[in-house]
Chain A
């Protein structure tokens, strides 16, 4: 059986599934239960500087987006960092780390932009014997208004400076948690690296309003008749998170910088996907908040089974394997042609493929007698929309045309070689030689 033991920045944990800094990791009680349930590591909910703790709202803290059957697809929150005293948190961290030496325990931190403030809290964290720190440069609500969280993460110079201070005053690994609320994730990622970060973790939550109460005419969650934007997370944000992870993994300036992947990880497969795109491990929150800590058992068994099937001995074996396949659009082969195919045995005749294609795409599906749906190869541009709207998995597939076959839509014979936009005759900036060689 595959060995799920994870080594991230020299920090070992029984598996690569860590709980992200969030309500599930706010206190000793939860964290002990999480470890007992099987979580490999925990990033303790963000600590702030000493003094009166922050105050949370006592109305609803979460908003939600649902899929069919009220599946929680996205969650937003307006909770702040820990609202318990620094001393209590530190005591608990010390105890938990003492009792669970083989599990990862990272402490998330957020203090003002001041070297003295960072040194003070780092010294205290160091004393707990925790495995490392994560700098919360991502929280998009509340704390950002006070010049912390994403207000720092959106300014690469601040990211770099604080990271430098942390590396100067703290000997253990430093992970910089990035905010997605920025146009280009590479700016803060590169800044973190310049500042000496051992790793980045991403994404933090996304600025969001999940719903509007149409009776009260107020965004939700509603606090005494008013609402504010919150941080969005859960399955719905996974695509955004994975793109940002991949961008960092394939960017020459940041390639090789360890990444802890966060954002909608709900199943073992999500975790494997993040890791294939370069994440050394993953952090989970919404799945645990939705289903409880037990959900990690499926993640463990699923990843283990998949690794056995693929012959991966350790998680390090497949980290980053998909990164070389992530490229820019201009490098895609424009002579690659596929056609949709509908398996009549599996088809339940709902006609959604037809409606989607006929109304919104290329009129490439025919509705025959007795609701038999077939693809018109001479119209199909292979957009894949029919595959995505079909309710039966595997019913519609894309067949790859082999070299020598003719695309009935364009009349083009599929060539042996590739042609990207860079060589395409329609591209004014294309290499003319490439066109001539192909006789165009």
Chain B
């Protein structure tokens, strides 16, 4: 046991050195060949399969599973990747329990779905482990397209556009590509630097020039892009986070969960990453769960996830809630934060029981806010709600500019949805540019 294990405050090195790797290993280890064959055998090859319908990228699940079952996982991977070039990451991070696996007919039959996500990982791992991305570029069209944001939506759009022979410049404000795949998402869902490896593999198609550290509004704007390129795709994500708007929010030890997760994801040495003894996470979505679980895995003595409504209202799935509970996260519901207390640094957080006058206080030396993200600058584009308004193929209110992923209206804020939107916008851009001649 580390001597820092129960130290107050925000401290690094709460765990024994060898504990970090064990805690942050794959949440779901890869399937062995045998497990994959046994798992694939369970698929019924349904007609007009519900799993396929439930997938935002409409991967032909029965076909790829049959390809695994018949000893051709590489062909299975091509089936997956032709619909979803980030099929490897989606296999790791998709909330399959609310998508393909939720509607698997084996759920009706035995309440135990075919493990579609893990089988998808098996197939994509196999192909990615042995060869470059399997798609070829068409003859060069001479068209130049700017893709802003190298997250799931931008990568998906860039790859599809490059495949059609267009010349793509892919901008991102951060020093590394990948977006939330690289800077968000729980570390135990994307181990061994998978996000970066996947980006490198994807870029192998050629025709994509990556320009990092280039943010919109910093010499880069829509007018310039529209002039320099034949089309623009925006996949900029949600750069701002919502704030609590309560006393004490500026105290040391109060952090945005999104920033904290990014720091964790980029950390070379988790034992050097400080974590509170008593951590309170505010929120009920995936970011809240990811922050809470990882706080616990880093050695926080107690982690409380506080949500203002009930368990069934939480955006995080029951599966994710159960995962958090299994790691020792305490979930407190109907708790609305009213004030954060402390001298210089946070020492406690006060809640009101939602819908009543009851108040209670939790000791905390670290508070993580995970109450949602929002669009930064809409850049003069029409918005729908708090996002850039787009039609079904990603067209914004301005001609020549498409958008997709979390920054655009429609769809859930999921990696797989972003991939679908990037891909579909790319198809529309291609058709539009080719029609123009």
Interface residue ranges, A against B (CB under 8 Å): 68-70, 348-352, 354-355, 367, 371, 391-392
Which residues in window 49-107 of B have CB below 8 A to A? 49-50, 105-106
Contact among B37, B38, B47 with A350 in the assembled complex (CB-CB below 8 Å): B47
Contact among A69, A351, A367, A371 with B38 in the assembled complex (CB-CB below 8 Å): A69
Q: Which of B37, B47, B106, B108 gathers most chain A CB within 10 Å?
A: B47
Asked if B249 CB lies within 8 Å of chain A CBs, one says: no
Subset of 12 A-B contacts with CB under 8 Å: A68-B41, A70-B37, A70-B38, A348-B106, A348-B109, A349-B46, A350-B44, A351-B48, A352-B45, A352-B47, A371-B50, A392-B109
B234 to chain A, nearest CB (A): 37
Whether A355 lies near B109 (C-beta < 8 A) is no
Which residues in window 20-41 of B have CB below 8 A to A? 37-38, 41
A361 to chain B, nearest CB (A): 13
Known: A391-B109, A392-B109. A352 touches B41 (CB 8 A): no
| A371 partner residues in chain B, CB cutoff 8 A | 48, 50
B67 to chain A, nearest CB (A): 16
Q: Which residue of B lies closest to A389 (CB)?
A: B44
Lowest 3 A-B CB distances belong to which pairs?
Answer: A351-B47, A355-B47, A348-B108
Interface residue ranges, B against A (CB under 8 Å): 37-38, 41, 44-50, 105-106, 108-109
Q: Which residue of A lies closest to B107 (CB)?
A: A348
| A69 partner residues in chain B, CB cutoff 8 A | 38, 41
Known: A391-B109, A392-B109. A352 touches B37 (CB 8 A): no
Whether A350 lies near B41 (C-beta < 8 A) is no
Contact among B44, B47, B48, B49 with A391 in the assembled complex (CB-CB below 8 Å): B44
B50 to chain A, nearest CB (A): 7
A344 to chain B, nearest CB (A): 12
| A351 partner residues in chain B, CB cutoff 8 A | 46-49
Q: Which residue of B lies closest to A390 (CB)?
A: B44
In Å, the complex CA distance between A68 and B425 comes to 41
| A391 partner residues in chain B, CB cutoff 8 A | 44, 109
Known: A68-B41, A69-B41. A348 touches B105 (CB 8 A): yes
In Å, the complex CA distance between A48 and B46 comes to 53
In the complex, given contacts A348-B108, A351-B47, A392-B109, what are 4 additional A-B residue pairs having Cβ atoms less than 8 angstroms apart?
A: A70-B38, A348-B109, A351-B46, A351-B49
Whether B41 lies near A349 (C-beta < 8 A) is no
Whether A349 lies near B105 (C-beta < 8 A) is yes
In Å, the complex CA distance between A350 and B105 comes to 6
B305 to chain A, nearest CB (A): 35
| B108 partner residues in chain A, CB cutoff 8 A | 348-349
In Å, the complex CA distance between A349 and B103 comes to 10
Whether A349 lies near B50 (C-beta < 8 A) is yes
| B37 partner residues in chain A, CB cutoff 8 A | 70
In Å, the complex CA distance between A46 and B38 comes to 38
In Å, the complex CA distance between A162 and B185 comes to 79
Q: Which residue of A lies closest to B103 (CB)?
A: A349
| B50 partner residues in chain A, CB cutoff 8 A | 349, 371
Q: Which residue of A lies closest to B69 (CB)?
A: A68
In Å, the complex CA distance between A68 and B114 comes to 14
In Å, the complex CA distance between A166 and B107 comes to 62
Whether B46 lies near A367 (C-beta < 8 A) is no
A265 to chain B, nearest CB (A): 25
| B45 partner residues in chain A, CB cutoff 8 A | 352
Q: Which of B37, B48, B50, B105 gathers most chain A CB within 10 Å?
A: B105
Q: Which residue of A lies closest to B47 (CB)?
A: A351
In Å, the complex CA distance between A70 and B50 comes to 26
Q: Which residue of A lies closest to B41 (CB)?
A: A68
Q: Which residue of B lies closest to A349 (CB)?
A: B105
| A70 partner residues in chain B, CB cutoff 8 A | 37-38
Whether A352 lies near B38 (C-beta < 8 A) is no
Whether A354 lies near B47 (C-beta < 8 A) is yes
| B38 partner residues in chain A, CB cutoff 8 A | 69-70
| B47 partner residues in chain A, CB cutoff 8 A | 350-352, 354-355, 367
B368 to chain A, nearest CB (A): 41
| A354 partner residues in chain B, CB cutoff 8 A | 47
A106 to chain B, nearest CB (A): 39
In Å, the complex CA distance between A354 and B106 comes to 17
| A392 partner residues in chain B, CB cutoff 8 A | 109
In Å, the complex CA distance between A81 and B107 comes to 50
| B48 partner residues in chain A, CB cutoff 8 A | 351, 367, 371
B376 to chain A, nearest CB (A): 41
| B49 partner residues in chain A, CB cutoff 8 A | 351
In Å, the complex CA distance between A351 and B108 comes to 13
| A349 partner residues in chain B, CB cutoff 8 A | 46, 50, 105, 108
In Å, the complex CA distance between A70 and B38 comes to 8
In Å, the complex CA distance between A391 and B104 comes to 14
Q: Which of B46, B49, B50 gathers most chain A CB within 10 Å?
A: B46
A395 to chain B, nearest CB (A): 10
In Å, the complex CA distance between A349 and B44 comes to 11
Q: Which residue of B lies closest to A347 (CB)?
A: B108
In Å, the complex CA distance between A154 and B41 comes to 40
Q: Which of A70, A351, A352 gathers most chain B CB within 10 Å?
A: A351
In Å, the complex CA distance between A105 and B152 comes to 72
Known: A68-B41, A69-B41, A70-B37. A352 touches B109 (CB 8 A): no
In Å, the complex CA distance between A350 and B41 comes to 15
In Å, the complex CA distance between A350 and B108 comes to 10
Q: Which residue of B lies closest to A354 (CB)?
A: B47
| B46 partner residues in chain A, CB cutoff 8 A | 349-352
In Å, the complex CA distance between A350 and B49 comes to 7
| A367 partner residues in chain B, CB cutoff 8 A | 47-48
In Å, the complex CA distance between A312 and B290 comes to 64
| A355 partner residues in chain B, CB cutoff 8 A | 47
In Å, the complex CA distance between A350 and B113 comes to 13
B77 to chain A, nearest CB (A): 21
| B105 partner residues in chain A, CB cutoff 8 A | 348-350
A408 to chain B, nearest CB (A): 24
In Å, the complex CA distance between A54 and B38 comes to 40
B225 to chain A, nearest CB (A): 45
Q: Which residue of B lies closest to A371 (CB)?
A: B50
B51 to chain A, nearest CB (A): 11
| A352 partner residues in chain B, CB cutoff 8 A | 44-47
B38 to chain A, nearest CB (A): 6
Q: Which residue of B lies closest to A351 (CB)?
A: B47
In Å, the complex CA distance between A70 and B36 comes to 12
| B109 partner residues in chain A, CB cutoff 8 A | 348, 391-392
A430 to chain B, nearest CB (A): 41
Q: Which residue of B lies closest to A359 (CB)?
A: B47
| A348 partner residues in chain B, CB cutoff 8 A | 105-106, 108-109
In Å, the complex CA distance between A411 and B240 comes to 70
B102 to chain A, nearest CB (A): 13
B31 to chain A, nearest CB (A): 15
In Å, the complex CA distance between A354 and B50 comes to 14
Q: Which of A348, A349, A350 gathers most chain B CB within 10 Å?
A: A350
A316 to chain B, nearest CB (A): 41
B144 to chain A, nearest CB (A): 45
In Å, the complex CA distance between A70 and B48 comes to 27
In Å, the complex CA distance between A417 and B47 comes to 40
In Å, the complex CA distance between A367 and B48 comes to 10
In Å, the complex CA distance between A33 and B105 comes to 45
A359 to chain B, nearest CB (A): 9
B327 to chain A, nearest CB (A): 33
In Å, the complex CA distance between A68 and B42 comes to 8
In Å, the complex CA distance between A391 and B109 comes to 9
